[in-house]
Amino acid sequence: MPLGAFVLGAAVTIITFTVAIGAIVLGPRTGALLGLVWGLYSLWHAWTAVPSIGALIFRNPIAALFPRIMVGLLIGLLYQYWVKQRPLKKQAPYLMILGGLSAFINTALVLLITWVSFSLMNTSFTGIPDTGLANWLITSIAGFNGIFEIIAGMILVPLIGMPVLSYLKRQNLI
């Protein structure tokens, strides 16, 4: 297997930021629709990919769809009511916050839904005791990967979003 086939360290899901930028540029309804498409892809991938803990989590339609839809909806609403009226040149710090928040919303909701599902269904994995499953998930996913996704969002959303917004403003499209 080539070296690129192995994940070393954190794996950042960047489609979160595509949904966030889409919600910022196109509004909360379109953001929610983009989130739905992402969620449907996650659900499809979970059922067709090699079985893993991620696939098990996203085979739950609620865990696959709801957090993704909420990323698009909430980031779009926050941009509309908190950032849009500000001058474009002063929006970059707010886009940083929205980028980090998009990763936080997704991670927090996926973990919450997963924890509730595992608690209600008393699920366990080989080698992970029932009593420590929720703590293990929160520590490993949110404590490690979630932090990297938040940082990536704080960098990528303003880095991509500001030029897109500037272009649309110059073209009188926003």
pLDDT in tens, 48-95: 987 776 677 888 899 999 999 999 999 999 999 999 999 999 999 999
- Report whether pLDDT(134) > 70: no
Exposed, middle or buried, 52 (CB in 10 Å: 0-12/13-18/19+)?
exposed
At residue 79, what is the residue type?
Answer: Y
Which tokens is 82 given? Answer: 């908190």
Across the range 20-49, mean pLDDT stands at: 96
At residue 145, the pLDDT reads 83
pLDDT level of residue 131 (50, 70, 90 thresholds): low
At residue 125, the pLDDT reads 55
Domains with residue ranges and CATH for the chain: 14-170 (1.10.1760.20)
Number of H helices, E strands in the chain: 7, 0
Which tokens is 127 given? Answer: 């080698």
